[in-house]
């Protein structure tokens, strides 16, 4: 009898003591409906890393790179036309003669709304929160960096707009502001802002088609409007769309917490010293 009690005591000590069982969903029996400690609404997830020590100087320099040249337009740009139509590449000539002020206004309003819309969409999505402030910094920086690149190109190339080549509009020949055709700032800014919005939505919610469709439709609309307004050549809007898209992809990607899928980039020790290691999935 004594040996039997010893066996029972040994078995009771070997058995694990548990307060409940775990279901397939990772919940403990008896606590159904209770959120797990790591659960949180998907929309409030922080998707960007913001380092103000870098982001503020970059944004300030980019903003200054836009403001200063525009303030000194008359000193930097020197009108040099009348110019022969023959200097315009054949694929750009067909827009010479278009000069709709109404379409010009529509394109400016559309581009302005496109630059504000990403922040409005983001605010509705995540609400006034820390993730929204992070998104704000990234989207604003995207637009500033894009604007700086546009300004650099415009004031370096100093290409006359299509209206300069139109005999019906001699007044613009002597206007420095009309020698900033390459490349299209309206088109580039629209694509940059909406691409940044699409990147932000995709990083937070996963694959979605509608932000990218909006980007393509609205961006293409602004590009066509700039052509029929006589403000840009086809090559100007094509380069503007490409440049804006690249900036709209690059700036959010550089700030993204998860690049190329969930994972981390870190410095790890190795027999030779240290190495840069990627941990995650491709």
Let me know if residue 35 belongs to a domain.
no
Radius of gyration of the chain (CA): 29
Q: Does 53 reside within a domain?
A: yes
**Alpha-carbon distance values, 276 to 50, 222, 254, 255, 279 (Å):** 21, 43, 17, 18, 10
Please check whether residue 176 lies inside any domain of the structure.
yes
Contact 202, 135 (CB under 8 A): no
Residue 125 lies in a domain: yes
- Are the C-beta atoms of residues 180 and 77 closer than 8 Å to each other? yes
Mention every residue, 6+ apart, whose C-beta is less than 8 A from residue 270: none
Tokens of 231: 């403000």
Nearest in space to 182 (alpha carbons), one of 32, 43, 267, 77: 77
| pLDDT-above-90 percentage for the chain | 70
Is residue 274 included in any domain, yes or no?
A: no
Q: Tell me: the pLDDT tens digits for 44-102? A: 689 999 999 999 999 999 999 999 999 999 999 999 898 999 999 999 999 999 999 99
List beta partners, residue 276: 267
The string of pLDDT tens digits covering residues 127-140 is 999 999 999 999 99
Spatial separation of the C-alpha atoms in residues 111 and 187, rounded to whole Å: 7
**Residue 93, domain extent:** 46-263
Name the one residue in this structure whose structure tokens are 């008359």: 74
Give the phi and the psi of residue 138 in degrees, each rounded to 5: -70, -45
129-184 tens-digit pLDDT: 999 999 999 999 999 999 999 999 999 999 999 999 987 777 778 899 999 999 99
The CA-based angle 141-200-268, given to 5 degrees, is: 85
pLDDT bracket for residue 15 (50, 70, 90): very low
- Is 278 inside any structural domain? no
Count how many domains the chain has.
Answer: 1
Any domain includes 171: yes
Query: If pLDDT is split at 50, 70 and 90, which confidence band does 271 have?
Result: low
Long-range CB contact pairs, 115-123, < 8 A, 24+: 115/143, 115/189, 115/190, 115/193, 117/193, 117/194, 117/197, 118/193, 118/194, 118/196, 118/197, 118/200, 121/197, 121/201, 122/197, 122/200
Prior bond of 183 cis (ω within 30°):
yes
> Residue 237: inside a domain, yes or no?
yes
pLDDT at 47: 96
Q: Which long-range contacts (CB under 8 A, 24 or more apart) does 232-235 make?
A: 232/95, 232/161, 232/162, 232/181, 232/183, 232/184, 232/186, 232/187, 233/88, 233/92, 233/95, 233/159, 233/162, 233/181, 233/182, 234/91, 234/92, 234/94, 234/95, 235/89, 235/91, 235/92, 235/182, 235/183
107: pLDDT strictly greater than 60: yes
How far is it, in rounded angstroms, from Cα 10 to Cα 60? 72
Helix (H) or strand (E) holding 134: helix 130-157
The token duo for 209 is 């088609």
Token pair for residue 255?
Answer: 């700030």
């Amino acid at each position: 009898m004594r040996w039997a009690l010893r066996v029972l005591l040994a078995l009771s000590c070997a058995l694990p003591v548990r307060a409940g069982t775990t279901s397939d969903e990772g919940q403990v029996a008896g606590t159904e409906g209770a959120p797990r400690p790591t659960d949180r609404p998907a929309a409030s997830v922080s998707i960007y890393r913001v380092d103000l020590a870098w982001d503020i100087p970059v944004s300030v320099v980019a903003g200054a790179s836009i403001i200063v040249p525009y303030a000194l337009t008359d000193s930097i740009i020197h009108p040099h036309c009348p110019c022969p139509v023959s200097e315009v590449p054949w694929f750009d000539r067909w827009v010479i003669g278009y000069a709709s002020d109404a379409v010009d206004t529509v394109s400016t309003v559309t581009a302005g709304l496109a630059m504000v819309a990403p922040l409005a969409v983001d605010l509705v999505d995540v609400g006034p929160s820390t993730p929204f402030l992070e998104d704000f910094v990234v989207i604003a920086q995207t637009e500033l960096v894009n604007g700086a690149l546009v300004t650099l190109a415009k004031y370096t190339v100093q290409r006359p707009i299509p209206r300069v080549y139109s005999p019906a509009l001699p007044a613009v020949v002597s206007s420095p502001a009309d020698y900033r055709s390459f490349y299209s700032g309206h088109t580039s800014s629209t694509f940059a802002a909406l691409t940044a919005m699409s990147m932000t939505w995709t990083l937070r919610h996963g694959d979605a088609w509608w932000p990218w469709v909006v980007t393509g439709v609205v961006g293409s609309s602004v590009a066509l409007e700039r052509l029929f307004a006589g403000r840009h050549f086809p090559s100007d809007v094509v380069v503007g769309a490409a440049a804006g898209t690249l900036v709209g992809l690059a700036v959010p990607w550089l700030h993204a917490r998860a690049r190329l899928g969930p994972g981390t980039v870190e410095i790890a020790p190795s027999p030779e010293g240290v190495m840069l290691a990627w941990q995650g999935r491709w």
